[in-house]
C-alpha cells in the first residue's frame, strides 16, 4: 500500500533545525558531508561548537553550545547525539544536496598550462637577471604558484628551463 503513495517534491527552504545555525556552521557541515565524514562525527562536532550570537528560534544565547537545541528536548546524552545525527542525515538529503548542486565545477587547468607558466617565469627571470631583489620576489611568486597549483604531479611533469641557472 505504501509504495502506491505519490512522492511529494521537497519544498525549498522547508523547516529544518539546522537552518537556524549561522552560515559558517552550515557551510562547515556541508564541507564535512562532501569530504565523507560520518553523520555521527559531524553531530559530535556540531554539539561541541558554541553559538557566536543569539538564536531566538531555539532559545540559544551567544556562547551557549549548539547542543542545547537538542538537549532541551532529550532525556539523555545518547538521545541528544542520536537526534543531532538524525538532523544531519535529514540535512544531507535536502539542503546539503541543494548546496552541492549550486557549487561550481572545480577548475582543472589545461594540460599545457604548467609549461606556459614556467615559460613565462623563465622569460621574466631573463629580463630581471640584473636585479637580484626582483629575482628574489620572482622566486617567491614562483613558489606561491607551485603551492597553489591544484595538481603537483602535473606541475612537476613539466621541465622548462631556458638556462641552467636556477630561478
What share of the chain in percent tops pLDDT 70?
86
Alpha-carbon gap, residue 93 to 104, rounded angstroms: 19
With cut-offs at 50, 70 and 90, classify the pLDDT of residue 133.
very high
Nine cell digits for residue 42: 559531524
Rounded Cα gap, residues 14 and 20, in angstroms: 12
Write out the three cell numbers for 112.
599545457
- CA separation for the pair 160, 119 (Å, rounded): 6
0.85 exceeded by the pTM? no
**What confidence score (pLDDT) does residue 86 get?**
92
Cα radius of gyration rounded to whole Å, the chain: 25
Amino acid at each position: 500500500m505504501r509504495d502506491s503513495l505519490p512522492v511529494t517534491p521537497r519544498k525549498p527552504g522547508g523547516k529544518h533545525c539546522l537552518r537556524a545555525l549561522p552560515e559558517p556552521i552550515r557551510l562547515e557541515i556541508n564541507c564535512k558531508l562532501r569530504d565523507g565524514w560520518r553523520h555521527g562525527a559531524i553531530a559530535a562536532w556540531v554539539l561541541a561548537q558554541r553559538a557566536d550570537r543569539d538564536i531566538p528560534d531555539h532559545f540559544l544565547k551567544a556562547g551557549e553550545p549548539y547542543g542545547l537545541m537538542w538537549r532541551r528536548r532529550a532525556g539523555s546524552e545518547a538521545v541528544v547525539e542520536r537526534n543531532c545525527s538524525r538532523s544531519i542525515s535529514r540535512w544531507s538529503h535536502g539542503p546539503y544536496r541543494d548546496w552541492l548542486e549550486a557549487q561550481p565545477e572545480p577548475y582543472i587547468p589545461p594540460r599545457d598550462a604548467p609549461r606556459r607558466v614556467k615559460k613565462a617565469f623563465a622569460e621574466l627571470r631573463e629580463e630581471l637577471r640584473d636585479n637580484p631583489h626582483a629575482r628574489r620576489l620572482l622566486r617567491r611568486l614562483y613558489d606561491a604558484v607551485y603551492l597553489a597549483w591544484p595538481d603537483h604531479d602535473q606541475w612537476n611533469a613539466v621541465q622548462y628551463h631556458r638556462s641552467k641557472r636556477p630561478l
